[in-house]
Amino acid sequence: MGNRKRIFQSLQTAMLLLLISLTGGSGLMTIYGADTEEELLIPEKKEEGILVPSSDQQDQDNTHNIWKESGLAGECHDAVPQAEQNRTEGWIAWDESWEYASYSAIHTGMAYLYRAPASRGIVVAVNAGHGTAGGTEAQTLCHPDQSPKVTGGSTGEGAIYAMAVSNGTTLLDGTPESQVTLSLARLLKDRLLQEGFDVLMIRNSDDVQLDNIARTVLANQVADCHLSLHYDSTETDKGFFFISVPNVESYLGMEPVASHYQQHMALGNALLSGAISQGIMLYGDGTLPIDLTQTSYSTIPSVDVEVGDRASDYSPQTQGRIADAIVTGVKQYFGVG
Ligand SMILES: [Zn+2]
């Protein structure tokens, strides 16, 4: 795809979003298969436009007021890095004493912490989606409080348990999703290190024996934000989006979601701004609400990013642009130049 076409698509996206915001949304039928090999149909989305947390955080009595329509720009805010600063570069093994550690079924693998030469002291967890042999044979709780899932996804609405890690989809040329998420993760890691971010590589090879809960628990402990990378299971090259937090009262009231969903949304919106700045096509408004295991256990800003689908180009050039977009979004989120 040429630059001119990309710019045109980007303009089209901007015009579409403007139109949606002016008309109040047109209720697009959405086909998706985020984080799964299944494809599902979901009903009309109730809200269009980018959702960001309202500034009125005190109004906890009325959950509906927590969300508001907003423009595309991700919000800059006072994100204070809290990751441990005294860890040295190297492999990080599992620790049963970590919060939510007991909910994980697969955690014999290790993540690798890279320190940037000119470190800003901010750790970004880069989680290449899938790539855990045996992950489909184990089950874990969707929510730490054992409540049922509030939306569909790779596991249906109402489920209490989900696969510990799904196999992911397969690109149209037969390449497993886990392979293209790893190549993107490596490009992203290199760019983040160049920009002074430390990187926690959750999966640093074809396979890591860490399930979705273990990956999240590790990120919670070591990193300041968590980005999982995925390609969706549709075949339309539909564009870039992130999995937003479902606007469901019971879900927004459940810990640790209640204390962190505004961070997840702000991080996701910053990534969308980064994508737009790189001329990357968005899918719809760039968000799709799904109740994910990752979100349900995250105590740091945490987003599942769907950077393309089965039909998308994943050449080093295209993945490099996606990595640049994500770095731009991360820098915006943490308010660093
Ligand atoms: Zn996936």
Structure-block tokens of residue 189: 């890691």
Q: What pLDDT sits at residue 50?
A: 36
Contacts 24+ apart (CB under 8 A), 115-120: 115/88, 115/89, 115/198, 116/192, 116/193, 116/194, 116/195, 116/196, 116/197, 116/198, 116/199, 117/193, 118/196, 119/196, 119/197, 119/198, 120/196, 120/197, 120/198, 120/334, 120/336
Q: What pLDDT sits at residue 155?
A: 84
Q: What pLDDT sits at residue 40?
A: 33
- What number of other Cβ atoms are within 10 A of residue 204's Cβ? 19
- What number of other Cβ atoms are within 10 A of residue 102's Cβ? 11
User: Cis peptide leading into 256, omega within 30 of 0?
Assistant: yes
Q: What is the mean pLDDT of the chain?
A: 83
Residue 217 in this model has a pLDDT that exceeds 50: yes
For residue 176, the CA-to-ligand 1 centroid distance in Å is 10
For residue 52, the CA-to-ligand 1 centroid distance in Å is 24
For residue 23, the CA-to-ligand 1 centroid distance in Å is 33
For residue 230, the CA-to-ligand 1 centroid distance in Å is 4
pLDDT in tens, 79-89: 445 555 568 99
For residue 307, the CA-to-ligand 1 centroid distance in Å is 10
Give the mean pLDDT of 24-51. 36
pLDDT in tens, 263-275: 999 999 999 999 9
Q: For the chain, give every domain's residue range.
A: 90-334
pTM over 0.85: no
DSSP 148: P
Confidence of residue 190 (pLDDT cuts 50, 70, 90): very high
pLDDT in tens, 163-187: 999 999 999 999 999 999 999 999 9
Residue 4 in this model has a pLDDT that exceeds 60: no
DSSP 83: S
For residue 264, the CA-to-ligand 1 centroid distance in Å is 18
Residue 33 in this model has a pLDDT that exceeds 50: no
For residue 55, the CA-to-ligand 1 centroid distance in Å is 32
- What number of other Cβ atoms are within 10 A of residue 109's Cβ? 22
Confidence of residue 6 (pLDDT cuts 50, 70, 90): low
pLDDT in tens, 267-304: 999 999 999 999 999 999 999 999 999 999 999 999 99
Least-confidence region, from 56-70, 189-203, 302-316: 56-70
Residue-by-residue DSSP string for 34-51: TTSS--EEE---S--SEE
Give the mean pLDDT of 102-114. 98
Residue 233 in this model has a pLDDT that exceeds 60: yes
Query: Which is higher by pLDDT, 228 or 25?
Result: 228
CATH topology for 90-334 is Aminopeptidase (3.40.630)
For residue 235, the CA-to-ligand 1 centroid distance in Å is 14
For residue 85, the CA-to-ligand 1 centroid distance in Å is 30
Q: What pLDDT sits at residue 85?
A: 55
